[in-house]
Structure 1
Amino acid sequence: MASKEQQTTEQEFYQTIIGIPSEILFAENLEEARLMVISGQGFFPVEGRTPAMTFGTSIRRVPLCRGEEPIVRNYCLFWKKDNFGYYVEEFADVLKSKFK
């Protein structure tokens, strides 16, 4: 799922970084993506374990692997040394809690 403006970036990411060599199909919204999966037109890569996103009984979730190992993405947060303080550290703590 990606907007028209984001599709080139998403395609490059999934083909170059993740290593999916096939054609990338895009859906305009979640409902369209689900219909494409159910009708056998493709897969819908979903990152993480998002409880808010339910898929129903007609779609099965499987891990995305490279060889035998699941693909894991690391997220990093950086800021300039001279740009620190209470709000920057609080923001970093909020982000850290969201990725646990």
Structure 2
Amino acid sequence: MRPKLCLPGNTGINLSAKLVAELAQHPNIMGIKDSGGNIVQIASNAAVTARFGIAGLKAALDMLGYYGGDPRPPLLPIGEVERAELKEILTRTQSSLTMVKTR
């Protein structure tokens, strides 16, 4: 079993969204539980869901190589225009993270 990281409520350590994105690349980290309750930070981490809904989150997971699958009815998958926009956002985000890692 791979370890899971817990955020402030359990550890007293707050992890920034940028650090979480970097840690997500590590093969031994399978997930992070946010128990801090920082609504602003949670909101920044949930931007995909806020903009594209659950269907967008599932599409993003698929695009990143994870299993998202189609949303359950009555929800529908996102359309091609939204899918292209989401892909562009993810590509820009991944490029930004690569630049941060190489500094």
- Bigger RCO of structures 1 and 2 (CA < 8 A, at least 6 apart): 2
Q: Greater helix percent: which structure?
A: 2
Coarse TM-score class (shorter-chain normalised): under 0.3
Choose 1 or 2 for highest CA Rg. Answer: 1
TM-score after normalising by structure 1: 0.22
